A = this chain, B = another copy of it.
Amino acid sequence: MNTDVISELIQSAQTKIVMLIMDGLGGLPRERGGNTELETAFTPNLDDLAEQSSLGLSIPVRPGITPGSGPGHLALFGYDPLQYKIGRGAMEALGVDFELCPEDLAARGNYCTVNENGVIIDRRAGRIGTDVNQELSMLLSMIKLDDADIFIEPIKEHRFAYILRAPGLNDALSETDPQRTGVTPLPVRALKKHSEKAANLVNQFLSSAQLVLQNKQPANMILLRGFAKLPILPTFQMKYGLRSAGIAVNGMYRGVARLVGMQVMDINGLTLKDEFDTLENNWENFDFFYLHVKNIDTFGELGDFDGKVKAIEEVDAYIPRLLALKPDVIIITGDHSSPAVLKSHSWHPVPLLLYSPFVRPDGIREFGERACTHGSLGTFPATNIMPIALANALRLAKYGA
């Protein structure tokens, strides 16, 4: 998809688009001949809406490819995930809701245990408690570097996000984590000429970290890998002319929304109700709303078929509140499938519903995988969703005379 042509055709309109992302929505039947999670769920409101909508199945990355959450979301937002890559370190920082700046260099960090010769004997420091992690991360945060800021954001157990903030950093760096025990951590090497500054700063930090941690047990050293800066993306405003709001509870999704230039909303709580309250309270101020629902995927990844069914039904109950706002365009889909039987993300195309007064309604009164197979949108790349939504919002001018 040549998205530049979309940007060229953008015209303004007084229309509002809601993209409701049910994370990990697509599924599989629990037993041969059975229904998927979505087909099992009692979803009268989604079914009613489906009847007035165009249905289809979206492919987030490419056929057969199982998307991570980052690539899955970029595709939904209209950015080809094979073109725009979010590196490991950047994903970790986004995941803890760290407000990563374009100049920041991020990495995934582990606390580890080394012996008296500096040789790694446990890459995870015995999976120290998160409380210990928080204490150590506080100490590491206080390390001073010349002309650079350091942020150490504890995650769970032995894991943390490492952020180095300074001008002129490049992420072409080798990793310090040798990915095995019995050897010493590696120094960081610049893999390109212009990443030497970053390499020097990271190595300077590592020397200080070693001193700070040397008498701690078992977490007496750190390992860094997946050095990455944020990819540079055209923002939603530039690309689509949309004032856009991101409504998500979890850090990673808030981060991806921020990455594409959405204004990420403060939410007064963690529930679906809190998210819908936020949507209503900000309705007047934006053209586009991304609303993310996490727990459907969580149940899928846990292999909890019934839990996933319930989580879908919970969303269904909020559809009337969404409709009461009278959005011009509604997209309901997922960023990928997460079938409970696979206990993981999967490659399967994701059910999608597109409602607007200007769709050709398929007249199929069901929102489910097989129902969507018969939908008029067919099985199509997720990067097509935004252009079709913009068209339905009357925000795309005619191409050519």
Contacts and interface: CB of A to CB of B under 8 A. Distances in A.
A6 interface: yes
A55 to B, nearest CB: 10
Contacts of A389: 64
A28 B395 CA distance: 18
The prevalent SS among residues of A at the interface is loop
B376 A88 contact: no
> Chain A contact residues (Cβ within 8 angstroms of B): what range?
35 or more
B400 A71 contact: yes
A32 to B, nearest CB: 7
Contact of A399 (B1, B32, B67, B344): B67
Contacts of A66: 391, 396-399
Contacts of A71: 399-400
A65 interface: yes
B362 A399 contact: no
A85 interface: yes
Residue among A52, A67, A391, A398 with most chain B CB within 10 A: A398
Nearest to A68: B400
A74 to B, nearest CB: 9
A66 B348 CA distance: 30
Which of A57, A61, A62, A370 has the most chain B CB within a 10 Å cutoff?
A: A62
Contacts of A145: none
Given A376-B57, A384-B63, A396-B65, A2 B82 contact: yes
A81 interface: yes
Contacts of A387: 62-65
Given A64-B390, A81-B400, 8 more contacts: A5-B65, A62-B387, A64-B391, A66-B391, A68-B398, A91-B400, A339-B358, A360-B370
Interface of A: 1-2, 5-6, 9, 28-29, 32-33, 36, 52, 57, 61-71, 81-82, 85-86, 88, 91-92, 339, 341-342, 344-349, 358, 360-363, 369-370, 373-380, 384, 386-391, 396-401
Q: Which 6 A-B pairs have the closest CB atoms?
A: A64-B387, A68-B400, A64-B391, A71-B400, A347-B391, A63-B384
